[in-house]
Structure formats: structure tokens, C-alpha cells
Amino acid sequence: MKIGNFNTDENVLIVAEIGNNHEGSIALAEEMIRMAAQSGVDAVKFQTIIPERLVSVRQKERLSQLKRFQLIFSEFEQLSKVADNENVMFLSTPFDIESALFLNDLVPAFKIASGDNNFFPLIEVIAGTGKPIIMSNGFMEIEEIKESAHFVRRIWDENGIRQELALLHCVSVYPTPPEKTNLRAINELKSIVHTVGYSDHTLGIEAAVLSVALGARIIEKHFTLDKNHSDFHDHSLSSDPEEMRRLVCKIKSASEYLGHGKKGISAAEEKIKKQSRRSIVAAHDLNVGHKININDLDWIRPDHIHSLSPGDENKVLGKSLLRNIVKGDMISLEDID
């Protein structure tokens, strides 16, 4: 999946989910971008929210918090420039149609949150932009995931758009306990889309690293400068800069171990292959004219260029020798009648 200049087939896209951990401070948001970039992530992601279009006016406490944490459109434009200066991808999840239309000029791909993976009016607008889509699948059964994926593809087909959809395994419990993480569900997503990933809400980094071994090509992990920054619960389940650095390092290490996945002889193996393979040799002294039987054969290292290899026994069995052969000497086709 190509997102801007990034290809998830070549490298795992590591996204620092800043979300609302800036708590409405543009200065803190900028610092978080800089620290995330120093941690080695590939992208930073925010949430673009118009509070009145997300929660009911009756949820006064929640609405008040969202307004305190809200960044206006011009501030997201500013953050996009900061991310560009830090050489990290800028992403933000829109939670309403107006925000999606605004973000279209700023982001190379759209992220759809678990809470909105069945918000089809929003999904339709996002799909209509023609940009790659990353969709978390918290709160969904597999058939619901297929339905949303089909909806996106139908919009693309109707508009002649050729684009890619990535699905992120997600358990929308904050934090997610290990026994509820269910990373093997990543394998099921591979039957729906080419690119799969993991949106991590566990404590620590182990789950995110393990998800790479299961095929996750996009990793999203919440990010904070201080796990104890405030009583806003997202901080405690987020990775701080040091933990994020370790996550990036371990994911890159895991990717090296996993390799390209195509079985073959490596260049390093080729150098020692001959020394590790066996040749067919005489098990004891053999005289000219002797008809070779299985008890006359032994198999030892190394594999010489002119020797016969295990599996070639029938080429010599029952054949007469044209010369004397000393115990341990290899037997070649030139030695038999």
C-alpha cells in the first residue's frame, strides 16, 4: 500500500497516535510531533473534531472536555507544516464530514476510527477523495468488516478510483488486557484486503511487535510526552518517547528477522553449502571389476564438484568399477562401466 512516498510492502508504517493528548495546546502538539519524530516514527496522527458534531449536547461534561481539547482548522494546518519540517507524515482522523473535506488538502491518506467504521455518510465522502484509507475495526464482527470494505470499494468503482484500503485489527478497550488482544485476528483480515495492521491499545510494546510477525504493515500506537501528564486516561496507555524509540527499534529488528518470506538459498548459505553436503564414497577398499552394492557405499562431507550426491546411488549400484578405489575416496560416474 502506497501512502505518499511510503510503501508498506517495503517497510512497516509506524504511526504515533497523538490523538487528543495535546489537550488543546498547540505548543504541546508541536513538541509532541518533534519528540515523536526523534523517536523514529514514520507518521504522527491527530484527531480533527468538531465537538457538537460528535457528541450530544446532553453530554455536557464530555462536550466541555472536547471543546477544551479542540484544535481549530488553522492549527492543524500549522501542525502539518511542523510535521513536514520534521520529515514525518501528517495524518488526522476526521470525525465529521466538514473535517474530512478540510483535511483532504493536508493528509496523504485518511484514517477512519473504530467508532465510525459504520458511519457510511462519512466513509462515502472520504472514499470520494480518492485517497488511501486506513480503517480500524474495533466493535466489528468479520461480516461487518467485509460490509464496510465492500462499501468503500463500491464507491471507488462507481467513481473510477483505483485505490487501496488497509484494515487495522483493533480492540477498543482502553487499555486492552493481554487475554483480550487476539492478535491472531490479523490473519483473518488478510482474506479481505492486501494490507493489514494493528491499532494498539495495550500497555507496553509487546503486542505491537508481535503483530508484525503476524503480518501487520501499519502499527498505530498512542503517544504522549508523559504517561502522568494529567488525569486524561489516554496518557497512561500511551508510549512516551523512550518507549516509542524501543518500539521502533524492535519493529525494525522484527522486520529484519522476518525477511522477505520467499524460501531459497541465501548468499551466506551458498558459501558453506558444499562443506555441509555429502558425497558418495567407498565404504572400504574396492578392486577394479567389482560390482558395487549398497554395502560398498558411505556418505561423508564435503560435496565435491565431481562427486555423486545422496540420491544418486542407483547410478552406481550393480555397475563394475574401472579402477581400484581406496576406502573414503569418492565414487564418480567416470569410475564405473
Chain mean pLDDT for the chain: 96
Whether pLDDT at 231 is above 90 = no
Nearest to 201 by CA among 138, 148, 243, 251: 138
The C-alpha R_g of the chain, in whole angstroms, comes to 30
The CA dihedral of 126, 128, 132, 135, to the nearest 10 degrees, is: 40
Would you state the pLDDT for residue 266? 86
Whether pLDDT at 3 is above 90 = yes
- The answer to whether 169 and 185 have CB atoms below 8 angstroms apart is yes
- Interacting residues of 192 by C-beta distance below 8 A, sequence separation 6+: 145, 146, 149, 167
Would you state the pLDDT for residue 115? 96
- C-alpha to C-alpha distances, 60 to 47, 50, 223, nearest whole angstrom: 20, 15, 27
Would you state the pLDDT for residue 233? 79
- The domains of the chain, with CATH numbers, are 9-258 (3.20.20.70), 268-335 (3.90.1210.10)
d(CA 183, CA 114): 16
- 17 grid coordinates: 497516535
pTM: 0.89
User: Nearest 5°: phi and psi at 134?
Assistant: -115, 120
Whether pLDDT at 305 is above 80 = no
Would you state the pLDDT for residue 299? 96
Q: How distant is the alpha carbon of residue 327 from its chain centre?
A: 55
Q: Is 124 helix (H, G, I), strand (E, B) or coil?
A: helix
User: Nearest 5°: phi and psi at 166?
Assistant: -110, 140
Question: 243-267: per-residue pLDDT in tens?
Answer: 999 999 999 999 999 988 889 998 8
Place of cell 462536550: 63
* DSSP secondary structure letters along 188-223: HHTTT-SEEEEEE-SSSSHHHHHHHHTT--EEEEEB
Q: Judging by beta carbons within 10 Å of its beta carbon (0-12, 13-18, 19+), is residue 60 exposed, middle or buried? A: exposed
